[in-house]
Structure 1
């Protein structure tokens, strides 16, 4: 064999030799060892849990979800009775959690944006009040704030007989907030008409913006909005039999009858979550606005834009790229903080599952259900916010 070929063969054999000094070999060994340790730990937990359940004669599985619940739930958007199953009771608790999360996210976003703008205002009084609010609320634990609002509503507010009239037919008492509702056979078609009109209004706005970007021509918008907002609900009303009326709350006995009542527990939870999360969102908005250079303000003012138009058309669209990522974290925190509802008696999914656990003893299954519910909600919010953040990202051309 020639000397050159012999050297090549020796180099090949040396390169194929397994050596601990090779970083790639070490990384493979470390990763395989980590996987083996994690798998062994999981196997130990599962085997130990099954052995303990068998020793205490506790049946595992989710078959108990088909059994009658036998307990009441104080409030729900879904029709529920104690004869329904445990699974349906947990679904009722989940809808309560989703309702709190949806309303809380919208309200905290609106108020947080307004207070964040107030913090960068040139008005010392407005800026000082907003700063004081943020510093006070952020430094008090949320649970303490929930207790404060609950005591304020249930102890300080008067009873139904002496309820305070906030607006005509709107009463505030220690039983909660009683408001009128729209009733009748035409109420649902009209509500559906308003929802369809809202979707069309958003679609018209998006089409107008795309046409503006493409051609530079601004199409009329508000006249079409008025036509859509009036025509569709009116058509739904005319086509549904004209059966619509206002169902106002009326004091009967020790409580109000008619209309819709918002319970003190729900009011407490919403006030606590919104006030607490608003303070954090305000700081995020303030930081996003401050991240935009002052030259942007000066350039926008130099072409005759008012301060409001500068903020709406120039500053906030750019600040959103800074605001959205931490804003997603606050949305997730609001959803997870809603689990503190169990401390004030609001029947969210944690409170309902806790009752199910006490009655059935299926601790592992109940905890897994709660974990899966919050994980699903959080991942859904994260997916949407990541998608929206991607839409805002600058793309090179």
Structure 2
């Protein structure tokens, strides 16, 4: 007997393909409708869609930018202003992610501390920061802290080299010359050597159960040499207050807007990262702690070799979300007047009427930033997963 052929509408494989085709077709139709409406609206308003105005040398930006990492003049084309905003955003995002990560680890470990005072202080920090709006915190740091610093003609001086005023924070910064470049290369080489020594020490501890005095001494020597290179090798430029013109010269100037945004994002995101760290460490079973201690490892080695590597499996996915949130929250810079990519795009759209084009540029910019972070964190997540044999 010949088997009865199943109708295609009852074949699950064919039905799944048909459903996917219908979904994709619906999305394409909706996109075509939206695009058609956009084109018609532009035509009715007498506008044109295009990005040529960005590189047009005859169109000048015509506005000043306070924070610039590269030379910029109001007579520059719009692409120059967009590039300045892009670099300003990257400066906040990269620095904020690094600072928030390390501060979050410290606060997270503080919540697990056996010291009652440290634990309560960390708990108060987390509960306060996580339960107040970020925008409110930014306003606090801006209006109640950084703008309340002394005036520029009477700045607050810390350690004879850090100047605090309502026009910004001035700190020492290395000059861009051969001496500084050589010192940075030496620091990088020292860091690479220390990493391999640290890896070798970890293998010795796992295989032989001893820390190895030679490795400890080598790491200490590299650490001391690195400190000497930082203080003596780098060609530091110290800020100087000129009493005649009542200005602070040289050094690195961190504007109140930049300092506010960086401080607010760091402290706010660190509160969430601290909970990620705490929950990740607590997810490791108690038996792992007891087994590691039974081998004679001290508390620092237990955390470094046993607990923290296992906690990373749990921590990395939510850490990725917190890093992405910091990138997106940086767009609140417009509230305090910091010239990031979002704020500059708003100004350009107001001048040119190219609001749709500038909105697309901002959307693509944040999308690319987040995709890069997500890809990097996903790669890190794969590297720390257990490899089954």
* TM-score normalised over the length of structure 1: 0.86
CA 1:96–1:222: 2 relative to 1, 3 Å: farther
SS in 2 for 1:162: coil
Once the 2 structures are TM-superposed, how far is the Cα of residue 87 of structure 1 from its aligned partner? 1.4
SS in 2 for 1:161: coil
Once the 2 structures are TM-superposed, how far is the Cα of residue 21 of structure 1 from its aligned partner? 4.2
Once the 2 structures are TM-superposed, how far is the Cα of residue 296 of structure 1 from its aligned partner? 2.1
Partner of 1:246: 237
In terms of mean alpha carbon deviation, does 51-60 or 377-386 score higher? 51-60
Q: Which runs of 5+ in 2 are unaligned?
A: none
What is the aligned counterpart of 1:347 among 333, 336, 339?
339
Alpha-carbon distance in 1 for matches of 2:69, 2:220: 31
Q: Which runs of 5+ in 1 are unaligned?
A: 1-6
What is the aligned counterpart of 1:28 among 3, 9, 17?
17
Alpha-carbon distance in 2 for matches of 1:91, 1:192: 27
Decide whether the 8 Å contact of 1:180 with 1:249 is kept in 2.
Answer: no
Decide whether the 8 Å contact of 1:169 with 1:180 is kept in 2.
Answer: yes
RMSD, aligned α-carbons: 2.8
Decide whether the 8 Å contact of 2:172 with 2:236 is kept in 1.
Answer: no
Tell me whether 1:63 sits opposite 2:52 in the alignment: yes
Tell me whether 1:280 sits opposite 2:272 in the alignment: yes
SS in 1 for 2:153: helix
Deviations, residues 13-63 of structure 1 (Å, cap 9, x unaligned) = x41544x44444443333222222211110011111112212222221110
Tell me whether 1:123 sits opposite 2:115 in the alignment: yes
- Structure-to-structure mapping, 1:1-397, within 5 angstroms: 7-8=1-2, 11=3, 14-15=4-5, 17-18=7-8, 20-67=9-56, 68-183=60-175, 185-194=177-186, 196-198=188-190, 200-201=192-193, 204-205=196-197, 208=200, 212=204, 220=215, 223=218, 226=221, 244=235, 246-252=237-243, 253-397=245-389
Alpha-carbon distance in 2 for matches of 1:302, 1:35: 58
* TM-score normalised over the length of structure 2: 0.88
Deviations, residues 92-124 of structure 1 (Å, cap 9, x unaligned) = 111111111111111111111011111011111
CA 1:300–1:71: 2 relative to 1, 3 Å: same
Decide whether the 8 Å contact of 2:146 with 2:260 is kept in 1.
Answer: no
Deviations, residues 168-226 of structure 1 (Å, cap 9, x unaligned) = 22111212211123337444433542454255335634763697599869674753885
Decide whether the 8 Å contact of 1:153 with 1:176 is kept in 2.
Answer: no
Alpha-carbon distance in 1 for matches of 2:253, 2:176: 18
Q: Whose radius of gyration is greater, 1 or 2?
A: 1
